[in-house]
Amino acid sequence: MTYKVGVIIGSLRAGSINRMLFEALKPLAAEAGMEFSEIAIRDLPLYNDDVLPNPPAAVVEYKKQLKAADAVLYITPEYNRGVPAPIKNAIDWGSRPMGQAENNGQISTVIGASMGALATSIAQNHLRSSLLFLDNEIMRQPEVYLTIGQGFFTEDGDIANADTKEFLAGWAKAFAAFIESHK
Ligand SMILES: Cc1cc2nc3c(=O)[nH]c(=O)nc-3n(C[C@H](O)[C@H](O)[C@H](O)COP(=O)(O)O)c2cc1C
């Protein structure tokens, strides 16, 4: 059984360390029995109730992908000690119309990378608050807070440090087991 995991990446920039992390995690996920595919959020407009009855294609597609996923992985940077706007905006779109939220009750987890020492811990906690409110089954352990600087990735995008890679492989196995036990 391969679980389909939709991955929402909170950074929109091309050189994102969180996107690099997503790419590096794909083979570890595959080994653990998950297929990671991105749920794109960059074309979502800012959330607006007025747009909801006749949503643009990007919103329709986003909601479709949320629904199709067995579980969702949020990979978030931290902006000013909080959740970056694109990821919060995506959660808000998924949560409406009321009673029909695609992201209600989903299996999910949150990880993140930043250049700072706090390594997205504050952003992740903010994000978990919204996901708890949406009644998600959130994998809480192991937590993944990565400070990513020079040398974290090899030139071909792999995780350079063997211990870190082993830890992340263990995290992937734990997430697959969590999905299995909550499906
Ligand atoms: C608007 C803004 C606010 C930021 N605030 C924080 C912060 O609160 N904590 C932190 O660790 N890094 C912060 N950073 C630095 C990010 O960790 C760094 O830009 C990181 O590369 C962002 O992730 P990305 O590479 O996936 O885009 C901030 C960056 C930006 C652009």
Tens digit of pLDDT for each residue in 15-25? 999 999 999 99
Per-residue confidence (pLDDT) for residue 95, from 0 to 100: 98
Rg (CA), the chain: 16
Nearest atom within ligand 1 for CA of residue 13: 27
What domain range is 38 assigned to?
A: 3-182
End-to-end CA gap in the chain: 12
The rounded distance, in Å, linking the Cα atoms of 30 and 148 is 23
Distance (Å) of CA 168 to CA 37, 127, 129, 163? 17, 20, 24, 9
Greatest CA separation for the chain: 50
Centroid of ligand 1 to alpha carbon of 129 (angstroms): 20
The rounded distance, in Å, linking the Cα atoms of 74 and 66 is 12
Please give the structure tokens belonging to residue 173. Answer: 């196995």
**Is the CB of residue 149 below 6 angstroms from any atom belonging to ligand 1?**
no
Neighbours of 140 (CB within 10 A): 9
Per-residue confidence (pLDDT) for residue 1, from 0 to 100: 87
- Contact call for residues 123 and 77 (beta carbons, < 8 A): yes
In testing the pocket of ligand 1, which one of 12, 21, 79 has its CB within 8 Å of the most ligand atoms? Answer: 79
Q: How much is the pTM?
A: 0.98
**Is the CB of residue 85 below 6 angstroms from any atom belonging to ligand 1?**
no
- Contact call for residues 111 and 144 (beta carbons, < 8 A): yes
Total number of domains constituting the chain: 1
CB-neighbour burial class of residue 176 (10 A; exposed 0-12, middle 13-18, buried 19+): buried
pLDDT tens for the chain, 183 residues long, are 899 999 999 999 999 999 999 999 999 999 999 999 999 999 999 999 999 999 999 999 999 999 999 999 999 999 999 999 999 999 999 999 999 999 999 999 999 999 999 999 999 999 999 999 999 999 999 999 999 999 999 999 999 999 999 999 999 999 999 999 999
**CATH value at residue 168:** 3.40.50.360
Please give the structure tokens belonging to residue 124. Answer: 């992740």
Alpha helices in the chain (DSSP H): 17-32, 57-68, 85-94, 121-133, 162-182
- Contact call for residues 78 and 30 (beta carbons, < 8 A): no
